[in-house]
Amino acid sequence: MTSSLPTAEQLQALERAVNLPEIEALGCARLDQNALEYYASGANDGHTHRANREDFARIHLRPRLLVDVSDVQTKTSVLGLDLDFPVGIAPSAFHGLAHPDAEQATARAAAGLGSVMTLSTFSNTPLEDVAQAAAGRLWFQLYLYRDREVSAGLVRRAEAAGARALVLTVDTPFVGRREANERNRFNLPPHLQVPNAGSREALAGLETQSGSQLVRHFQGLVDPSLNWRDLEWLRSLSRLPVILKGVLTAEDAELAVQHGCHVWVSNHGGRQLDTAVSSIAALPEIADAVAGRAEIYLDGGISRGTDVLKALALGARAVFLGRPALWGLAAGGEDGVRRVLTLLRDEVRLAMALSGKQNMQQVGADLVKL
């Protein structure tokens, strides 16, 4: 059942899980249809959703031998924040569908393992409460609203709460067509709030006999006229670095750098434009365009430590987990998210050792064959 505490037996199954796909199965089994379809759905036929994972398998590693790998170091940093390993939590809405502790559980797990959490505007928990749980390891994801003062207020709240960066999602002028959500009328359960994105009453007022409640709420809030000129206004509100999330082309990466932003390679988990390029396939041209002038991050399809290593070799500074964190949260709350991150951290370290890499500074394009 969604948003219930896991039993002792379920927590034991979580500890026995040896990889992220096994935790995904445990998490999915604990979600009701409404929550599972929301988390799992891709746009239209799901081609991009599947390609995010499948395209990693098409990239091959070129391991080097006879290297002393008795002390492999996975540490890195993002925007001056030290990470124990190059994996963070991507913004995803409505963690309360998975567990009663919602985003606070995810934030505590990330902070406890030296990671970083990116909080979605569409969280079920006020950003100030999540910031406290994140212990200085928080980025805040933002949509620009039609009412710019509301967005400005969110930026000020995020900065005051201690967020270290603003992540502006730029690939969602409209919500992609997630047909399962449309067919079965996705809606939030009555006990969940959306404190950073509108009231419970606003959501209830958008209920109809068909379609996704989220789509109607989103389209009433978010400004589809967002363009490059708006970035100057956003950057004037705060001293926080701005990251553009949703970049898939070299052309837009170049414009992002010109506008003083960092780059997050993402296709929104395959939930927006179906048949768009996968994140990992888009990364090489973006890395070439950025040419070290800004930091690059990536989400989409990460399920193994070798995936992380491939993304870093092709130019990402760190990768971020969307669905895997939610599966862990559903499977075991904070313990489940911690298990996801721990398994991936250990896989990254092993993949580095078997590739002959002693630290992150040695991970480069020579490691992969496209």
Catalytic, 99? Answer no
Q: For 91, which DSSP code?
A: P
Question: What is the C-alpha R_g of the chain?
Answer: 19
What angle do the packed helices 8-16 and 20-29 form, to 10 degrees? 160
Closest among 234, 249, 185 to 211, alpha carbons compared = 185
Alpha-carbon distance of 103 to 99, in angstroms, equals: 9
Q: Are 345 and 45 in contact (CB under 8 A)?
A: no
Catalytic residue among 49, 217, 262, 268: 268
CA separation, residue 164 to residues 79, 136, 138, 158, 286 (Å): 8, 8, 6, 9, 24
Cβ distance 290 to 316 under 8 Å? no
Q: Which residues contact 153 (CB under 8 A, 6 or more apart)?
A: none
* Residues in the annotated binding site: 38, 91-93, 120, 141, 143, 169, 178, 245, 266, 268, 271, 322-323
- Could you write out the DSSP letters of every residue in 221-281? HB-TT--TTHHHHHHHT-SS-EEEEEE-SHHHHHHHHHTT-EEEE--GGGTSSTTPPPHHH
Q: Which residues are annotated as a binding site for FMN?
A: 91-93, 120, 141, 169, 245, 266, 322-323
Q: Are 173 and 151 in contact (CB under 8 A)?
A: no
- Give 264's contacts (C-beta < 8 A, 6+ positions apart): 167, 243, 244, 245, 246, 247, 296, 297, 298, 299, 320
Query: Active-site residue numbers?
Result: 268
